[in-house]
A and B are shown apart, each in its own frame.
Chain A
Amino acid sequence: MSPRTLLYLYGWRLRAHPFKELLAGAGIAIGVALLFAVQVANTSVTGSVEQLLHAITGKAELELAARDAQGLDARLLQVVRAVPGVQTAAPTIEHRGVVEGPAGSEAIELIGVDPSLAALDGAATREFGSGRLSIPARSIVMPDRLARVTGVEPGDRVTLNMAGRPHRVRVAALLDKGEIGSLTGSSVAIAPLAFAQELAGTPGRLSRILIRAREDSVASVRAVLTRLMGNRLNVGPADSTVRRLESASAPNDQSTALFSAISAMIGVLFAFNAMLLTMPDRRAFIAELRMQGFTPWRIVGVLGFQALALGTMASLAGLLLGDLLSRSVFHAVPTYLSFTFPIGTQRVVPLHTVALAFGSGLLASLIAASRPLADVVCAARSTAWSTSAASSGRDSTPPCGAGCCWARSRSCSRRRSSSGSTPA
């Protein structure tokens, strides 16, 4: 059957039962919206941190990290660089603080970098290495979103509260999307390493040394570093912070997963109940199609297309609604996480989250449509019920029972052959 004919027949359904179709679509859309909004909100928490850290660590595979806020001795950088197999070792200092401007204040992560960090090719720092961007001494740069929030222009001075003391620092430049990509949504400020150490009150100390090893040397470099410093410093993958965040946010993730599952169930239940309202006329329509000579597979095609069309439209509406919800209702970040991790404000919407929500909507629609479809499969040759349903214009339960499903289709056929309703 051609798509044009399928669309034509779906047009009939929309004309004949617009309210029921709208109700079914609304049920699916609500479920998809809840699922999508919760997933996006949750993904954004870890996703924003992952984006920020990856933008700094770039191609680094390993890190040597301090175990406390005092950091590690900057002189260890030379030791690390001397380890065989180390291609690049870049020092960073990261310290939490609050930036205050004329329009407002926001908690930030101050990142101190030096030119060697650019060799790691991270999105946040590669432009500094290329020479296109440089940070003047005793200045910071920040994303333009943060500048808008705090009301800062390039060249202005802002107050940076760090290590219990306020500092007046100059904002040298604002970074836009072309320079730092999606990090424009992150609450970060970048400063030269020495200046950041001074602001943090930890001169000569580092938070981490990011290490890029030569090919096939990652394991050996890690083994050497662990042997040399493993007793006082953390030696691990460069994304250790993300893994720690995942551990810390596990309870939050579990509740989110539960809520997502409940949302999905609500969506399916909404859709299923709404579709139940359409059962009598769908059954009558099926009976009519059979009577007029449509083959069972053509009927399955017609009903399947109608379910897919409804599911597609409702899921798209659900994604839009979910997007709104994730911006307005589900955007709060757990406080205990934001104190510890540089959680940004950007929304991270992975493709798999969109696919999951959209697929769930389609699935709900197909599951809800499966009951009359099961009737088609179950119907075999006997349609006494269908004729009476069609002629009376009301629902008529087939002899094998409305719960007849694909798996029961054989037993249904057997029961039909031995008994039945009396149509005449």
Chain B
Amino acid sequence: MSTLELIDVVKRYASGGDVVRAADGVSLTIVPGEVVALYGPSGSGKTTLLLLAAGMLAPDAGDVRFDGRSIARLSRDEGAHYRRGLGFVFQSFHLMPAVPAIDNATLKLLADGMSPARARKQATTWLARLGLADRAHHPPERLSMGERQRVAIARALANDPRLILADEPTGSLDSVRSRETLGMLSRLCREREVGMLLVTHDRDAAHFADRVFDLRDGRLAERGDHGAVPALEVPATDEATPA
């Protein structure tokens, strides 16, 4: 079971003479196929939780576990191996400028040790599934924002991740593209039994999540009225259902 568990996690930062509690006893479980949305104002600790889940930060107290194993105790190499099993989607896409979409989508596969030729072949399949077959050889500068995010999603999903961590994935998109992207991500997660932690400001995101949490001053509170079933009309995309 690829389950992520945050157990009573505490993370503090020193800021000037003060101590900021970015995570203050946070407990959260994400099971496979579940989409969890995390809301909160700037500075509330959303990205810290994401980094803790990614194993990029170690908690000051509590534990972060994946598949029952504490990721805070992983060595550097084990941490890298753990992150290879995660898919990351960011607001600013993190695509290499001037590098064609097909090459950008191979990065995760290269981290897995795949040869560039095989990685390109696999990335091509994913770009086609996300409706970017005819844009595969275009660099990010020649793609729309929505297309760039789809390239980033192709990169995140190319090696069949066990968990997706999305940090404001719709922050650079208009409302139509936002819904399209969220719909695509949530559908893929459910179909492929992959959990997703979605950090967002986007009000529409709640409609695509199974559970919604508010994070304020490092403390987590679950909303009861988020609407687990998407109530909004999601624009159709030309992506095929991934195998």
Contact = CB atoms under 8 A, between A and B. Distances in A.
B224 interface: no
Interface stretch (A69-77, A90-98, A390-398): A390-398
Which of A382, A390, A424 gathers the greatest number of chain B CB atoms within 10 Å? A424
B48 interface: yes
A419 B13 contact: yes
A184 B79 CA distance: 65
Given A15-B98, A16-B98, A382-B56, A422 B15 contact: yes
A383 B51 contact: yes
Contact of A293 (B15, B103, B108): B108
B133 interface: no
A381 B76 contact: yes
B110 interface: yes
Given A4-B116, A423-B48, A424-B45, A290 B99 contact: no
A130 interface: no
Interface string A372-401: 000000000111101100111100000000
A423 B110 contact: no
Interface stretch (A5-13, A44-52, A79-87, A349-357): A5-13
Contact of B57 (A291, A297, A382, A390): A382
Nearest to B218: A424
A247 interface: no
B96 A12 contact: yes
A17 to B, nearest CB: 8
B3 interface: no
Given A5-B115, A288-B107, A424-B44, A387 B56 contact: yes
B126 to A, nearest CB: 15
A418 interface: yes
A328 interface: no
Nearest to B48: A424
Nearest to A302: B110
Interface string A395-424: 000000000000000000000001111111
Contacts of B14: 418-420
Contacts of B113: 1
A381 B98 contact: no
B235 interface: no
Interface residues of B, number: 49
Interface stretch (B80-88, B142-150, B176-184): B80-88
Interface string B6-28: 00000001110000101000000
Contact of B51 (A8, A15, A285, A384): A384
A217 B143 CA distance: 84
Contacts of B90: 390-391
Contact of B94 (A2, A297, A391, A423): A391
Interface string A156-173: 000000000000000000
Contact of B84 (A4, A292, A296, A422): A292
B125 interface: no
B97 A16 contact: yes
B51 A423 contact: yes
A418 B14 CA distance: 8
Contacts of A423: 22, 47-48, 51
B91 A391 contact: yes
Contacts of A2: 115
B81 to A, nearest CB: 7
A332 B97 CA distance: 49
A233 interface: no
Contacts of A386: 56
B70 to A, nearest CB: 13
Given A15-B99, A387-B51, A424-B22, A291 B56 contact: yes
B80 A290 contact: yes
A12 B97 CA distance: 9
Contacts of A296: 76-77, 80
Nearest to A297: B77
B108 A292 contact: yes
Contacts of B110: 5, 8-9
Contacts of B57: 381-384
A289 interface: yes
A220 interface: no
A295 interface: yes
B58 to A, nearest CB: 5
Nearest to A393: B92
Given A12-B96, A423-B51, 19 more contacts: A4-B116, A5-B115, A8-B110, A8-B116, A15-B96, A290-B83, A293-B82, A293-B84, A294-B80, A294-B111, A383-B57, A386-B56, A391-B92, A391-B94, A418-B14, A419-B14, A422-B13, A424-B48, A424-B49
Across the A-B interface, give the 7 residue pairs with the lowest CB-CB distance, nearest first.
Answer: A293-B84, A293-B83, A419-B14, A424-B47, A295-B80, A8-B116, A424-B48
18 contacts: A9-B110, A15-B96, A15-B99, A288-B107, A289-B107, A291-B56, A291-B94, A293-B80, A293-B82, A293-B112, A295-B80, A387-B47, A387-B51, A418-B14, A421-B13, A424-B42, A424-B45, A424-B49
Interface of A: 1-2, 4-5, 8-9, 12, 15-16, 285, 288-298, 381-384, 386-387, 390-393, 418-424
